[in-house]
Amino acid sequence: MATIDNDLIGSVINALPLDRMIAGPLLALVQAQVAASQSYADFLMGVCVENGKAVAIEFGYDETVTDEQGAAKGTVSRSMRIPLMAAIAHPNIVIEEGNFEFEVTISQQLETRRETAGELSGAAPFGFGKFKIELKGQVSHKSTQTRKTDTRARYAFNTKVRNQAPPEALMRVIDALTEVASKPITVSN
């Protein structure tokens, strides 16, 4: 008689490459963060810096000149430059969270059926009047054994990403550039 293999679950779990299953997604998160950081650095150097200098946006405007009583005396043309990196959104993303789910379902089913059937009958006249004996013989044997193992696995990977502010050192550079560059200057006609 066959029995269910109780060591099957242990052998299936031991055969799983758990080290790669755990390390793989973690390494993928690290590589994704490295790629995001490289992309941000490429953005800064390709969009916000040109020939080693911060790219600036320059625009002009007219300022009304007034006397001490507030009466308009005319207009003065002025211009202002601000660093581009202070005027645009920064694509600086960070992987905030990673969730990994792994589920294994192992089911084993064993079914054994045996059928044995026999029949015996006979006929022989013994001379007792109407009584007659008939002998018939038939023997059958049937045996069925079914064993089924079903292993299913589910692996889910979820990641949360958010945009973060530029690093503090870059914010200080942006503030310094903005302060120096945004002082209005008078444009002479």
75-85 pLDDT, tens digit each: 888 888 888 99
Is 45 a residue whose pLDDT tops 70? yes
> At a CB cut-off of 8 Å and minimum separation 6, what does 21 contact?
102, 155
Task: Express each pLDDT in 89-148 by its tens digit.
Answer: 999 998 888 888 877 777 766 666 666 655 555 444 454 556 555 555 566 666 677 767
Count of other CB atoms within 10 angstroms of residue 90: 19
Pick the range with the lowest mean pLDDT from 12-16, 48-52, 139-143, 160-164.
139-143
Task: Express each pLDDT in 47-71 by its tens digit.
Answer: 999 999 999 888 888 888 888 888 8
The whole-number pLDDT of residue 1 equals 47
Select the more confidently predicted residue: 157 or 188: 157
Quick one: average pLDDT of 2-24? 70
Cβ(83)–Cβ(136) below 8 Å: no
The whole-number pLDDT of residue 111 equals 66
The amino acid occupying position 93 is I
Is 6 a residue whose pLDDT tops 90? no
Select the more confidently predicted residue: 60 or 6: 60
Q: Confidence class of residue 34 from pLDDT cuts 50, 70 and 90?
A: very high
Instruction: Show the tokens assigned to 176.
Output: 């310094």
> At a CB cut-off of 8 Å and minimum separation 6, what does 168 contact?
none
End-to-end, the C-alpha distance of the chain in Å comes to: 107
The whole-number pLDDT of residue 53 equals 92
Task: Please state, rounded to an integer, the average pLDDT across all residues of the chain.
Answer: 77
